[in-house]
Amino acid sequence: MPVNYSGYWRMQSNENFEEYLKALDVNVALRKIAVLLKPDKDISQTGDRVVIKTISSLRNYIMEFDIGKEFQEDLKGIDDRLCKTTVTWDGDKLVCVQKGEKEGRGWTHWIDGDELHLEMRAEGVTCKQVFKKVH
């Protein structure tokens, strides 16, 4: 286990999020609301078990997984798709591959100082978010 991601992280920046949501075919009304949100991340990591809670005023999303084990991810409330998802280590980065209807879908998390970086990908579109550790 290279890095412990546990902590509470508050969003600082969100680049290209609307284009990412368009790539996922999220409807325009939901996109317009989503881009205004500044969700927090509450991450707990025990060994290879990780729980990532994305918390916002609109809705919360909880992703629980064991690193290296494929699972079925229900993205209800995001783009309402099912994916076969696997999260692995690439050095100190957590890399997620989401196999499903959308090509090249997934994300990468990494920590730089007190910042948590998240790069989300789908259909050739990339969104970059940065979070600052609160506690």
User: In order along the chain (135 residues), what is the average pLDDT of each group of 10 residues?
Assistant: 89 96 92 92 95 91 95 84 94 96 95 97 98 92
CA dihedral (76, 98, 118, 46) in degrees, to 10, reads: 90
Contact 15, 129 (CB under 8 A): yes
Domain ranges of the chain: 7-133
What does the longest C-alpha to C-alpha distance in the chain come to? 40
Q: What is the pTM of this model?
A: 0.93
Closest CA to 85 of 74, 75, 70: 70
d(CA 118, CA 33) in angstroms, rounded, equals 20
What CATH homologous superfamily does 7-133 map to? Calycin beta-barrel core domain (2.40.128.20)
